[in-house]
Structure 1
């Protein structure tokens, strides 16, 4: 029942983009990721200070700068033209509460759109959606979006996000729900502690995902990845390689 209700909520969220789409940053071409619902620009250090009670933001400024340096190192620009920010730099960012992810369905190759949010007061309740990430090489993980932002450096804006990876391996010998998971063909995953949140390039997001809290789980940070939301997710879950150990994002 919980999974069925979660699927209905997931479907409804795709039907109502709300006023946020009015502020969507999108050009004439279809972008993989578009951001919307911008908040006032602040410094990285200010964002960290505003969330001092949330361990996910511990070291946020440094995490963001390190992630930005990695993005610059992997772009197509000639090496001698890359400008890296110092690790202790305090750059200006614009937070966003809404993203639109366009992706090709692996079933029919048509462009499909997911509407995802990081909003503490979406219709009166917190809303922090989940995504499927291309984490490294041919490895994928699930993660929860915590904070979306654009960071300005060298006259360019880089779209990034603070996410909570769901890549803690669950030892089968310790999984008290192992038999029921196998019988029902469920994919159980476990979140890192919030202090283990990382900053990623928004372009590493493949699509939105639906995760539900695992009822009767041994730990309260266990989730079930729902593959029945659509044919695309069902097929991806059959074919992609999910990380079996904690991913190194540095």
Structure 2
């Protein structure tokens, strides 16, 4: 009888441990779902950031120092100021000015198809740990140059400038046409290489999410991606007709 009691007690302890773990997982998933809701939506914008990174606002110089081991933040403060000066010249950013930044882990993009006029919304992730997996989604970008342009999100940043103006930008890897030719091609197939350098992108130029698939999972092959041909002009940002 004593042996049976010991076994039953061990089973009860195991069951209790499993139940506690399942409950903690449910709470974590619920928190993630709540955390992804749009926050601080910009007026008349077709995008909305969600899932803010925990912590207070941090200035651009401190953010560079805190992430000095990451290539994405190499010379970050200088590059950011250069981007802001070129994109928003009316702001007159000075070296001694402070740029405050809040980071986010997802973004909601609203758009409308010009084929059937249906509205849609993409929820895109930009997180080193989304359900315990790395996930950096891709976007379709409106550029001055004709053709299809895509980028991979690496950081979502809301910058508060000295004037008080807030601008939403993304740190991205752009994609460029590849010289690599597959043995088998199909209609609408395009091949892109992911550029190693990081660049800044204003969220105003993001049209919608883009699905890119790796050509091969082999580690010894260069990274190429296949994408279906879709035209950026087939989609309207929702702020253009609201």
TM-score range, shorter chain: 0.7 to 0.9
Structure 1: how far apart are the matches of 2:203 and 2:91? 20
Per-residue deviation, 1:235: 4.3
* Structure-2 residue corresponding to 1:186: 189
Tell me what 1:76 maps to: none
Pairing partner for 1:31 from 24, 30, 45: 45
Give 1:129 deviation, angstroms: 0.6
Q: Is the 8 A contact 2:115 2:234 kept in 1?
A: no
Instruction: Note the C-alpha offset of 1:44.
Output: 1.1
Distance 1:237 1:219 in 2: 30
Match of 2:117 in 1: 109
* Unpaired segments ≥5 residues, structure 2: 1-31, 236-242
Q: Check the 8 A contact 2:141/2:232 in 1, yes or no.
A: no
Given that 1:142 and 1:165 are in contact with CA atoms closer than 8 Å, whether structure 2 keeps it comes out as yes
Residues 222 and 20 (structure 1), Cα distance of their counterparts in 2 relative to 1, 3 Å cut: same
Matched residues, number: 200
User: What value does the CA root-mean-square deviation take over the aligned residues?
Assistant: 2.7
- Does the 8 Å contact 1:20/1:98 carry over to 2? no
Match of 1:197 in 2: 198
**What does residue 207 of structure 1 align with?**
208
1:151 paired to 2:159: yes
Higher RCO, 1 or 2 (CA under 8 Å, sep at least 6)? Answer: 1
| Equivalent residue number for residue 224 of structure 2 | 222
Maintained 8 Å contact 1:62/1:88: no
Asked if the contact 1:102/1:111 (under 8 Å) is kept, the reply is yes
Q: Which residue of 2 aligns with 1:99?
A: 107
Q: Is the 8 A contact 1:151 1:157 kept in 2?
A: yes
Normalising by structure 2, report the TM-score.
0.73
Query: Which residue of 2 is the match for residue 72 of structure 1?
Result: 88
Q: After the TM superposition, which segments of 4 or more aligned residues of structure 1 sit over 6 Å from their partners? A: 237-240
Distance (Å, rounded) in 2 between the aligned partners of 1:100 and 1:33: 5
CA distance in 1, matches of 2:102, 2:128: 17
Cα distance, 1:139–1:43 mapped onto 2, change above 3 Å: farther
Q: What CA distance in whole angstroms lies between the structure 2 residues aligned with 1:133 and 1:119?
A: 20
What TM-score comes out, normalization by structure 1 length?
Answer: 0.70
Render the CA deviation track for 1:113-139: whole Å, top value 9, x for unaligned: 000111111111111110011132545
Quick check: which has more Rg, 1 or 2?
A: 2
CA contact (8 A) 2:137 2:153 kept: yes
